[in-house]
């Protein structure tokens, strides 16, 4: 295999007049739409009424986007955003010439996960669908969404890996790089695609475990364990993380992954609270 790969795609996937649809937005959209249809099918198979599914997408969309945005602001750049709260919530930035539209530069998967869980709790309070059943169904679809989000990061040339001499290294020309780096975004996208198909295989073999937290636990454990280890191949996202890595050998993303791994293993192995909150006596259809 020849290498390295010079990576410098157009950030815009489609131009319609003065409007440009960026690859990042397109990938996010594809991931969410695929999850929508997957969960809709799971709901139908399990006999959950359609009117209880209808509001689910809205809750998930708002929870993921708000959680991911706040996660980035508070986990990675708290000093800046706490002193610029408007920029935390609106896609604008103050410059010498006044306010300027910039889009949302920064979304964190850990925050998105927390936002999604909170949104699903609110959804459950409204619809009375069992919480663990909802979490399990969403978890079956989540890896395919995560796959496309990381492909969006790849198209944006962000969350790049460390320099490498492997044949498949990417030179992220958009960032001004002249050295090859690990395409960490692609590693994650491929892993999440594998986790998605593995989850479908588990569902076919253990569909009766929907509503126990089994699939929710599998999803958290698989995604955040891989995330923990792939971080060793990434550049740190914020300069202050250099001191953290020097002190303990781990970056912020790895520290934030650890609680999700613990919670994932607890649910996957059938912890007491999962049994208490779940539907162990109601098999999936």
Query: pLDDT tens across 20-76, in order?
Result: 788 988 998 999 999 999 999 999 999 999 899 989 988 988 988 888 888 878 877
b (16+ CB within 10 A) / e for 103-129: ebebbbbbbbbbbbbebbeebbeebeb
Query: pLDDT tens across 220-235, in order?
Result: 999 999 999 999 999 9
Is the pLDDT confidence value at 210 over 50? yes
CA distances from 147 to 31, 129, 141 (A): 7, 27, 11
CA distances from 164 to 168, 180, 235, 253 (A): 9, 6, 12, 21
- pLDDT, averaged across the chain: 89
The model carries a pTM of 0.85
């Amino acid at each position: 295999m020849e290498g390295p790969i010079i990576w410098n795609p157009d950030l815009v996937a489609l131009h319609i007049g003065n409007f440009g649809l960026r690859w990042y937005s397109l990938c996010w959209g594809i991931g969410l739409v695929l999850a929508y249809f997957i969960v809709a099918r799971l709901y139908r198979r399990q006999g959950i009424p359609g009117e209880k599914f209808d509001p689910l997408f809205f809750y998930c969309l708002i929870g993921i986007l708000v959680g991911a945005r706040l996660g980035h602001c508070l986990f990675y750049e708290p000093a800046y955003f706490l002193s610029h709260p408007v920029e935390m919530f609106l896609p604008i930035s103050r410059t010498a010439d006044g306010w300027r539209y910039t889009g949302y530069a920064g979304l964190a998967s850990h925050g998105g996960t927390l936002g999604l869980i909170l949104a699903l709790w609110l959804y459950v309070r409204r619809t009375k669908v069992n919480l663990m059943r909802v979490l399990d169904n969403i978890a079956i679809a989540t890896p395919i969404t995560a796959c496309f989000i990381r492909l969006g990061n790849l198209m944006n040339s962000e969350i790049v890996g460390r320099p490498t001499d492997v044949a498949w290294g990417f030179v992220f020309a958009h960032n001004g790089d002249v050295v090859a780096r690990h395409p960490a975004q692609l590693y994650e996208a491929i892993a999440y695609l594998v986790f998605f198909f593995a989850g479908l295989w588990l569902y076919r073999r253990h569909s009766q475990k929907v509503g126990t937290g089994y699939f929710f636990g599998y999803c958290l454990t698989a995604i955040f364990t891989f995330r923990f280890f792939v971080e060793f191949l990434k550049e740190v996202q914020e300069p202050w993380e250099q001191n953290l890595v020097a002190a303990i050998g781990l970056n912020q993303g790895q520290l934030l992954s650890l609680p999700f791994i613990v919670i994932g293993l607890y649910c996957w192995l059938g912890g007491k609270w999962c049994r208490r909150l779940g539907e162990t006596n109601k098999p999936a259809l």
